[in-house]
Amino acid sequence: MLVDSHCHLDKLDLSAHGGDLEAALQAAYDRHIRHILCIGINLENIDQVVALAERHAPVFASVGVHPLYRESREPTQEDLLSIARHPKVVAIGETGLDYFYGEGDLQWQRDRFHIHIEAARQCRLPLIIHTRGAKEDTLRDLREIGQGEVNGVLHCFTEDLDMAKQALDLGFMISISGIVTFRNATELRDVVKALPLDRLLVETDAPWLAPVPHRGKQNEPQYVVEVAEKVAQIKGLSLDEVARVTTENFFTVFAKARLNADQVGVQG
Ligand SMILES: [Zn+2]
Ligand SMILES: [Zn+2]
């Protein structure tokens, strides 16, 4: 059993599946993917993301406003908390800081990030962090505003080993995307090699960042298998072992998802 710990099902172009999301989910199921976390990136379409999770048993949702999504209405803590009460909403995010693609004065990004950290502290749900070129500020904000009371995942990790280790010390897990299969991702592969498997997750970030050999095409949850295979190869483990441990890790950090999966009796 595998979990795609981060994707955007609402952004998939479903033409390859006859316009049917159920067919894309079945393709993932056929490759042993049993759970999928569909990530919220703005308040304008959060109802759609939550509805997807309601309609499809294997799908969970998160609520947040992406650090590069400038057009969104700014979320208040109460916005996030009220949506987070939904039984299938298992995390706050994605949120974070992106100084690589962000432009100009980015104080608004930090203000937005702080609201998410405060909300996660309040409702005790994990944070899904997007971080690019903002190592010091991301870690400091998690430390100072989180006050040791937040954890979660650094998703689609592409930063250095030192940042990964500091995040582990803060209680976070590191999620690996299809980037790990890219030819020039040597540093990321070294990070994967150095980190303990029991702190790693795998994700697609679909529809973006399809792993080799699908690179350049649309990404889909089913391709999390290729990500897990690469992690297994780097660590000299079997795919089964990586699948088992990363699934366990997923339910450790997203504990509300475990509760929910137990209730609906979704089996591996
Ligand atoms: Zn992201
Ligand atoms: Zn994302």
Span 88-146, pLDDT tens digits: 999 999 999 999 987 788 999 999 999 999 999 999 999 999 999 999 999 999 999 99
Spacing, Cα 29 to ligand 1 middle (Å): 24
Pick the ligand that lies closest to the CA of residue 98. 1
| Ligand nearest the Cα atom of residue 67 | 1
Distance from Cα 185 to the centre of ligand 1, integer Å: 17
Looking at the predicted structure, is the pLDDT value of residue 31 above 60?
A: yes
pLDDT for position 264:
57
Q: What is the largest CA-CA distance in the chain?
A: 48
**What is the arithmetic mean of pLDDT over 39-49?**
96
Token representation of residue 25: 């989910």
DSSP state, residue 210: P
Q: Give the helix/strand (H/E) hosting 153.
A: strand 152-154
pLDDT at position 70:
86
Inform me whether the pLDDT recorded for 151 exceeds 90: yes
Between the CA of 28 and the centroid of ligand 1 the distance, in Å, is 21
Dist. CA 39 → ligand 2 center (Å):
6
Ligand nearest to the CA of 130: 1
Ligand that comes closest to the CA of residue 155: 1
pLDDT of 29 above 90: yes
Domain ranges across the chain:
2-264
Query: Distance, CA 156 to ligand 2 centroid (Å)?
Result: 8
Return all residues near 187 (Cβ < 8 A) that are at least 6 apart.
160
Report the alpha-carbon distance of residue 34 to residue 166 in Å, rounded: 30
In 3D space, the residue among 156, 94, 97, 155 whose CA is nearest the CA of residue 125 turns out to be 94
Half-sphere exposure of 218 (CA within 13 A, CB side): 14
Closest ligand to residue 37's CA? 2
Of 93-97, 212-216, 254-258, 259-263, the poorest mean pLDDT is in 259-263
Mean pLDDT calculated for residue range 214-233: 97
C-alpha 121 to ligand 1 mean position (Å): 21
Q: How far is the CA of 199 from the centre of ligand 2 (A)?
A: 19
Nearest ligand for residue 4 CA: 2
Share of the chain above pLDDT 70, in %: 98
Give pLDDT, residue 38. 98
92 CA from centroid of ligand 1 (Å): 13
Superfamily of domain 2-264, CATH level 4: Metal-dependent hydrolases (3.20.20.140)
Amino acid 190: pLDDT: 98
- pTM for the predicted model, two decimal places: 0.96
CA atoms of 28 and 34, how far apart (whole Å)? 8
Task: Say if residue 267's pLDDT is above 50.
Answer: no
Contact between 203 and 211 under an 8 Å Cβ cutoff? The reply is no
